[in-house]
Structure 1
Amino acid sequence: MKNNELETKTELQEESLLKSTVGRRSFLQYAGASAAALALVAAGCRKDRNFTDPMAGVTLDFKDDFGVLNYAYALEQLEAAFYIQVANSNPSGFTTAQKAYFQDVQFHEIAHREFFKKALGTAAIGSLEVNFSAVDFTSGASVLATAKTFEDLGVAAYNGAGVRLKETAYLVLAGQIVSVEARHAAYVRDQISNGTFADLGTLSAFGAVDANGLDGALTPDKVLPLAAPFIKTKINVVNL
């Protein structure tokens, strides 16, 4: 089967999964986020921006909210691709409950990704090509370690980018999503070592809970290099 046929088949499968499952299992009911979605769609229609150059990757322009939203969209693309592959693999040592959990999380991340894609409209960057060569999807330990990296990084990324958003509706939306990412992070940590779901006390690249009980926050210039090993597409950053 040719590559374009495979891509089309994958897209159709994802769309089918999203339509059949997001409604009953996803954290994010589209109806509940309708106000923010309408605001994003309306803004996207007013600004026809071409962020994508096939020869040079994608560009994140942080001069306004669209750059921040596309930044979140890029990270959600990465997470969705990872969890789709996990859900279609059979990691050794995974219990039935763990398999069910990762099935659910793939729907969460597909919902995140598709929400941003639809809401941004013509302002959305293109699809990213991922690189998971360092991940052993047959190993439960490898999958959990990578999931921990993505979830901790995702939480820190949303926390660090929120200050750049000017529209209140977008900030509220980011807060709704980061709270779900934090739930994912807590679960994954507990699967690796029971009782460590809230343990960010050890300093890491992703920050740590401080004396005030606040979670880690990383600015985009710190997040993107940490995500880069998992992304083949070149990401250009301006106005950061």
Structure 2
Amino acid sequence: MNDQYLKEKEDLYSTENSTTTALKRRSFLKYAGASMAVTALAVAGCSKDDNDFPGMDEGVYLGKGDIAILNYAYALEQLEAAFYTKVAETPYSGISELEKALLTDIRDHEIAHREFFKAALQTSAIPNLEVDFSSINFGSRDSVLATAKAFEDLGVSAYNGAGQLIEKGEYLLLAGKIVSVEARHAALVRDLIQNGSFAGSDVIDMNGLEKSLSPSKVLTAAAPFIKTKINARDLPTY
């Protein structure tokens, strides 16, 4: 990230009280552009057969139809919330106050998303998943931001891919509201890595549209980070 850019943002926060600071942080998130890519996670998932994770006949059952899709989204939100919680608990070396504040905001959003799905699904909700972050160096800025980028890009592609599979209009509306937040996260993280990279050609197609992934491909990509076996045999996909 450009040092002057970061300094200007840090100076902005230092002159405001805590309430105004929180609002300006959220304003920064609000106006960040949308982006998505899944390169890092796709590479991580290449060591597995595409059918190893989705469609298993054992493990936590996602359900059928819209319930399965909601649990699918809930699983991804659990993964993201767990990751950002760890980031907040063990800040990487040299983290600035600005970066800490922004990543904490993202953590809070992901926890809110996780709890929303849990409440909406009620007794149909899958249990808490066990994650595996052994491949992530939480003391390294590069490792943490690269993983955050991969998770956020995967989340955006997941919601975009699942939208066409949702049957109830109200669920589709809610998914649209959540994916817009995930896209802001993806854009922000990309700019933390390299200023101005929030919507590069690697994440936007020639028509100016974001790419998407099917649920089966998303689950395969996320599999290295989830210890809990997931039974997705009835999850709609394409």
Q: Normalising TM by the smaller chain, what interval?
A: 0.7 to 0.9
Letter in 1 for 2:61: T
Q: What displacement does 1:60 show?
A: 2.2
TM-score (norm 1): 0.73
Paired residue for 1:223?
218
The 10-residue stretch of structure 1 (100-109 or 145-154) with the greater mean CA deviation from structure 2: 100-109
Q: What displacement does 1:238 show?
A: 1.2
Letter in 1 for 2:59: G
Letter in 1 for 2:154: L
Paired residue for 1:153?
154
Paired residue for 1:97?
98
Letter in 1 for 2:220: P
> Given the alignment of the two structures, is residue 78 of structure 1 paired with residue 79 of structure 2, yes or no?
yes
Letter in 2 for 1:106: R
2-structure distance, mates of 1:115, 1:128: 16
1-structure distance, mates of 2:205, 2:150: 19
The equivalences for 1:142-181 within 5 A come to 142-181=143-182
Letter in 1 for 2:176: G
> Given the alignment of the two structures, is residue 235 of structure 1 paired with residue 236 of structure 2, yes or no?
no
Paired residue for 2:205?
210
- Deviating beyond 3 angstroms after TM superposition, the runs of 4 or more aligned structure 1 residues are 24-27
1-structure distance, mates of 2:94, 2:187: 20
Paired residue for 1:136?
137
The equivalences for 1:21-100 within 5 A come to 56-61=58-63, 63-100=64-101
Letter in 1 for 2:130: E
* Identity level (%): 60
2-structure distance, mates of 1:123, 1:181: 24
1-structure distance, mates of 2:68, 2:188: 30
Letter in 2 for 1:179: S
1-structure distance, mates of 2:105, 2:160: 24
Letter in 2 for 1:177: I
* CA-to-aligned-CA distance 1:142-168 (integer Å, 9 cap, x gap): 100000000000000000001111111
SS in structure 2 at match of 1:209: coil
The two structures, once aligned, show a CA RMSD in angstroms of 1.8
> Given the alignment of the two structures, is residue 119 of structure 1 paired with residue 120 of structure 2, yes or no?
yes
Q: What displacement does 1:141 show?
A: 0.9
Letter in 1 for 2:224: P
SS in structure 2 at match of 1:166: coil
Structure 2 unaligned blocks of 5 or more: 1-21, 27-57
Q: What displacement does 1:229 show?
A: 0.5
Ranked by relative contact order (alpha carbons within 8 Å, sequence separation 6 or more), the top structure is: 2
SS in structure 2 at match of 1:238: coil
1-structure distance, mates of 2:113, 2:152: 13
Q: What displacement does 1:88 show?
A: 0.7
Paired residue for 1:11?
none
Q: What displacement does 1:211 show?
A: 2.0
Q: What displacement does 1:210 show?
A: 1.5
2-structure distance, mates of 1:105, 1:147: 10
2-structure distance, mates of 1:90, 1:176: 29
TM-score (norm 2): 0.73
